[in-house]
Amino acid sequence: MSHSLTITGPRGAPTSIKAIVWDFDDTIADTLNARIHAMRRTFEQAGVTHTTAEAFIVEQRGVPLQVSLDGLKARLGLSVGLTDMYRTAYWVRKPGLLRLFDGLPELLSALKHAQVPMGIVTSKARDIVVQGVPAGTLVELAELGLDWLAPHTVGFEDVTHPKPHPEGLARVLDRLGVAPHETLVIGDSPADIQLAHNGGCWSCLAGWGVPLAQRDLTRATPDLVAEHPLALLSLFGD
Protein backbone atom coordinates (compact mmCIF):
# COMPACT_ATOMS: atom_id res chain seq x y z
CA MET A 1 0.00 0.00 0.00
CA SER A 2 1.31 3.44 -0.97
CA HIS A 3 2.70 5.72 1.73
CA SER A 4 2.32 8.78 -0.49
CA LEU A 5 -0.32 11.50 -0.50
CA THR A 6 -2.43 12.19 -3.58
CA ILE A 7 -3.45 15.77 -4.24
CA THR A 8 -7.07 15.76 -5.39
CA GLY A 9 -8.28 19.30 -4.70
CA PRO A 10 -7.69 22.49 -6.69
CA ARG A 11 -5.78 24.21 -3.86
CA GLY A 12 -2.76 21.93 -4.16
CA ALA A 13 -0.87 20.55 -1.18
CA PRO A 14 -1.05 22.30 2.20
CA THR A 15 2.24 23.82 3.36
CA SER A 16 1.65 24.89 6.95
CA ILE A 17 -0.30 22.15 8.74
CA LYS A 18 0.18 22.40 12.50
CA ALA A 19 -2.76 20.38 13.85
CA ILE A 20 -4.95 17.40 13.00
CA VAL A 21 -8.62 16.81 13.73
CA TRP A 22 -9.67 13.20 13.29
CA ASP A 23 -12.89 11.38 12.67
CA PHE A 24 -13.03 8.22 14.81
CA ASP A 25 -14.86 5.27 13.21
CA ASP A 26 -13.17 3.96 10.05
CA THR A 27 -10.44 6.56 10.42
CA ILE A 28 -8.63 5.94 13.70
CA ALA A 29 -10.45 2.82 14.83
CA ASP A 30 -11.67 -0.11 12.80
CA THR A 31 -15.02 -0.59 14.52
CA LEU A 32 -16.75 -2.20 11.53
CA ASN A 33 -17.00 -5.69 13.02
CA ALA A 34 -18.53 -4.31 16.21
CA ARG A 35 -21.04 -2.18 14.28
CA ILE A 36 -22.08 -5.00 11.95
CA HIS A 37 -22.52 -7.35 14.91
CA ALA A 38 -24.74 -4.82 16.69
CA MET A 39 -26.75 -3.91 13.59
CA ARG A 40 -27.44 -7.55 12.77
CA ARG A 41 -28.83 -8.10 16.25
CA THR A 42 -30.92 -4.93 15.94
CA PHE A 43 -32.39 -5.89 12.58
CA GLU A 44 -33.11 -9.42 13.78
CA GLN A 45 -34.94 -8.14 16.86
CA ALA A 46 -36.90 -5.52 14.92
CA GLY A 47 -37.72 -7.74 11.95
CA VAL A 48 -35.93 -5.57 9.39
CA THR A 49 -35.36 -7.70 6.30
CA HIS A 50 -35.30 -5.31 3.31
CA THR A 51 -31.60 -4.54 3.75
CA THR A 52 -28.57 -6.04 5.44
CA ALA A 53 -26.58 -4.66 8.33
CA GLU A 54 -23.53 -4.32 6.09
CA ALA A 55 -25.40 -2.37 3.39
CA PHE A 56 -27.08 -0.06 5.89
CA ILE A 57 -23.80 0.80 7.61
CA VAL A 58 -22.19 1.66 4.26
CA GLU A 59 -25.16 3.81 3.23
CA GLN A 60 -25.18 5.84 6.47
CA ARG A 61 -21.41 6.46 6.47
CA GLY A 62 -20.71 9.81 8.13
CA VAL A 63 -24.33 10.39 9.23
CA PRO A 64 -25.14 10.35 12.96
CA LEU A 65 -26.47 6.91 13.79
CA GLN A 66 -29.57 8.19 15.55
CA VAL A 67 -30.52 10.22 12.48
CA SER A 68 -30.15 7.16 10.23
CA LEU A 69 -32.04 4.77 12.49
CA ASP A 70 -34.82 7.27 13.23
CA GLY A 71 -35.24 7.72 9.48
CA LEU A 72 -35.40 3.96 8.93
CA LYS A 73 -37.91 3.57 11.74
CA ALA A 74 -40.16 6.23 10.18
CA ARG A 75 -39.90 4.77 6.66
CA LEU A 76 -40.84 1.28 7.85
CA GLY A 77 -43.46 2.46 10.33
CA LEU A 78 -41.83 0.58 13.20
CA SER A 79 -42.90 1.06 16.79
CA VAL A 80 -39.69 -0.25 18.36
CA GLY A 81 -36.80 2.05 19.23
CA LEU A 82 -34.05 1.05 16.81
CA THR A 83 -31.49 3.44 18.26
CA ASP A 84 -31.87 2.10 21.79
CA MET A 85 -31.74 -1.48 20.53
CA TYR A 86 -28.57 -0.81 18.56
CA ARG A 87 -26.85 1.06 21.38
CA THR A 88 -27.50 -1.79 23.76
CA ALA A 89 -26.21 -4.35 21.26
CA TYR A 90 -23.14 -2.25 20.47
CA TRP A 91 -22.06 -1.14 23.93
CA VAL A 92 -23.09 -4.10 26.08
CA ARG A 93 -20.76 -6.53 24.35
CA LYS A 94 -17.60 -8.47 24.93
CA PRO A 95 -14.37 -6.51 24.31
CA GLY A 96 -12.00 -7.39 21.51
CA LEU A 97 -13.91 -6.30 18.42
CA LEU A 98 -11.98 -3.04 18.00
CA ARG A 99 -8.55 -2.43 16.52
CA LEU A 100 -6.42 0.42 15.26
CA PHE A 101 -5.77 0.49 11.54
CA ASP A 102 -2.31 -0.58 10.45
CA GLY A 103 0.12 2.32 10.74
CA LEU A 104 -2.06 4.33 13.13
CA PRO A 105 -0.14 3.44 16.32
CA GLU A 106 3.17 4.50 14.73
CA LEU A 107 1.67 7.67 13.25
CA LEU A 108 -0.06 8.80 16.43
CA SER A 109 3.05 8.07 18.47
CA ALA A 110 5.21 10.15 16.10
CA LEU A 111 2.76 13.05 16.05
CA LYS A 112 2.37 12.99 19.81
CA HIS A 113 6.16 12.97 20.24
CA ALA A 114 6.36 15.96 17.87
CA GLN A 115 3.70 17.72 19.99
CA VAL A 116 1.30 18.11 17.09
CA PRO A 117 -2.09 19.23 18.52
CA MET A 118 -4.79 16.66 17.78
CA GLY A 119 -8.50 16.28 18.46
CA ILE A 120 -11.52 14.25 17.40
CA VAL A 121 -14.93 15.19 16.01
CA THR A 122 -17.21 12.16 15.85
CA SER A 123 -20.87 11.51 15.07
CA LYS A 124 -20.80 8.91 17.85
CA ALA A 125 -21.70 9.74 21.44
CA ARG A 126 -18.70 10.86 23.47
CA ASP A 127 -19.64 9.85 27.03
CA ILE A 128 -22.86 8.00 27.87
CA VAL A 129 -24.17 5.17 30.03
CA VAL A 130 -26.07 2.26 28.49
CA GLN A 131 -27.83 -0.14 30.88
CA GLY A 132 -25.48 0.92 33.64
CA VAL A 133 -22.40 0.35 31.47
CA PRO A 134 -20.06 3.29 30.66
CA ALA A 135 -20.10 3.80 26.91
CA GLY A 136 -19.12 6.24 24.16
CA THR A 137 -16.01 7.25 22.28
CA LEU A 138 -14.07 7.87 25.49
CA VAL A 139 -14.51 4.23 26.50
CA GLU A 140 -13.22 3.06 23.13
CA LEU A 141 -10.28 5.46 23.23
CA ALA A 142 -9.31 3.99 26.60
CA GLU A 143 -9.67 0.44 25.24
CA LEU A 144 -7.33 1.34 22.39
CA GLY A 145 -4.80 3.10 24.65
CA LEU A 146 -5.64 6.56 23.28
CA ASP A 147 -7.33 8.13 26.29
CA TRP A 148 -4.88 11.07 26.00
CA LEU A 149 -7.10 12.25 23.11
CA ALA A 150 -10.18 12.39 25.36
CA PRO A 151 -9.93 16.07 26.42
CA HIS A 152 -10.08 17.19 22.79
CA THR A 153 -12.92 14.92 21.67
CA VAL A 154 -16.32 16.28 20.64
CA GLY A 155 -19.20 13.86 20.21
CA PHE A 156 -22.81 13.84 19.07
CA GLU A 157 -24.20 15.03 22.40
CA ASP A 158 -21.83 18.02 22.54
CA VAL A 159 -23.29 19.90 19.57
CA THR A 160 -26.60 21.23 18.37
CA HIS A 161 -25.67 20.75 14.72
CA PRO A 162 -23.83 17.51 13.78
CA LYS A 163 -21.47 16.99 10.85
CA PRO A 164 -21.04 18.46 8.31
CA HIS A 165 -21.94 21.60 10.25
CA PRO A 166 -18.66 23.04 11.61
CA GLU A 167 -19.89 23.58 15.19
CA GLY A 168 -18.02 20.59 16.60
CA LEU A 169 -14.91 21.39 14.59
CA ALA A 170 -14.88 24.97 15.90
CA ARG A 171 -15.06 23.65 19.47
CA VAL A 172 -12.04 21.41 18.95
CA LEU A 173 -10.00 24.14 17.24
CA ASP A 174 -10.73 26.45 20.15
CA ARG A 175 -9.52 23.84 22.63
CA LEU A 176 -6.39 23.16 20.59
CA GLY A 177 -5.68 26.87 20.08
CA VAL A 178 -5.13 26.55 16.33
CA ALA A 179 -6.53 28.31 13.27
CA PRO A 180 -8.58 26.56 10.57
CA HIS A 181 -6.07 27.25 7.78
CA GLU A 182 -3.35 25.37 9.68
CA THR A 183 -5.54 22.35 10.50
CA LEU A 184 -6.04 19.11 8.55
CA VAL A 185 -9.32 17.24 9.04
CA ILE A 186 -8.99 13.50 8.33
CA GLY A 187 -12.02 11.30 7.81
CA ASP A 188 -13.54 8.51 5.76
CA SER A 189 -16.85 10.07 4.67
CA PRO A 190 -18.14 12.94 2.53
CA ALA A 191 -19.49 14.46 5.76
CA ASP A 192 -15.92 14.69 7.11
CA ILE A 193 -14.68 16.39 3.95
CA GLN A 194 -17.63 18.79 3.98
CA LEU A 195 -16.96 19.45 7.67
CA ALA A 196 -13.41 20.54 6.84
CA HIS A 197 -14.54 22.79 3.99
CA ASN A 198 -17.34 24.33 6.06
CA GLY A 199 -14.89 25.07 8.86
CA GLY A 200 -12.18 26.55 6.63
CA CYS A 201 -9.74 23.67 7.17
CA TRP A 202 -7.79 21.40 4.87
CA SER A 203 -9.25 17.94 4.24
CA CYS A 204 -7.87 14.44 3.75
CA LEU A 205 -9.76 11.28 2.87
CA ALA A 206 -8.60 8.36 5.00
CA GLY A 207 -8.31 5.90 2.16
CA TRP A 208 -7.27 3.06 4.46
CA GLY A 209 -10.79 3.03 5.96
CA VAL A 210 -12.76 3.26 2.71
CA PRO A 211 -12.62 0.58 0.00
CA LEU A 212 -12.31 2.06 -3.49
CA ALA A 213 -15.76 0.81 -4.47
CA GLN A 214 -17.36 2.68 -1.56
CA ARG A 215 -15.72 6.07 -2.07
CA ASP A 216 -17.93 8.98 -3.05
CA LEU A 217 -15.83 11.94 -4.17
CA THR A 218 -18.74 13.54 -6.03
CA ARG A 219 -20.41 14.90 -2.88
CA ALA A 220 -17.21 16.44 -1.55
CA THR A 221 -13.71 16.53 -3.02
CA PRO A 222 -10.90 16.24 -0.45
CA ASP A 223 -7.70 18.22 -0.77
CA LEU A 224 -5.71 15.03 -0.20
CA VAL A 225 -6.15 11.28 -0.21
CA ALA A 226 -3.92 9.11 1.97
CA GLU A 227 -4.01 5.37 1.32
CA HIS A 228 -1.92 4.62 4.42
CA PRO A 229 -1.68 6.56 7.70
CA LEU A 230 2.10 6.90 7.56
CA ALA A 231 1.79 8.95 4.36
CA LEU A 232 0.71 11.84 6.59
CA LEU A 233 4.15 12.09 8.13
CA SER A 234 5.33 13.87 4.97
CA LEU A 235 3.27 16.90 6.03
CA PHE A 236 5.41 17.27 9.13
CA GLY A 237 8.85 16.99 7.60
CA ASP A 238 9.43 13.30 8.24
- In this structure, what DSSP letter does residue 59 have? H
pLDDT for 2: 65
- The CA distances from residue 23 to 12, 45, 153, 179, 201, in Å, are 22, 30, 10, 18, 14
CA angle at 7 for the pair 5 and 9, rounded to the nearest 5°: 145
Provide the whole-model pTM. 0.88
Question: What is the amino acid identity at position 238?
Answer: D
Look at residue 185 and give its three-state secondary structure: strand
- Rounded CA-CA distance 233/222 in Å is 18
Whether residue 164 has a cis bond before it, omega within 30° of 0: yes
Q: Which residue positions in the chain have pLDDT lower than 50? A: 238
Strand order in the sheet with 224-226: 5-7, 224-226, 202-206, 183-187, 19-22, 118-121, 153-154
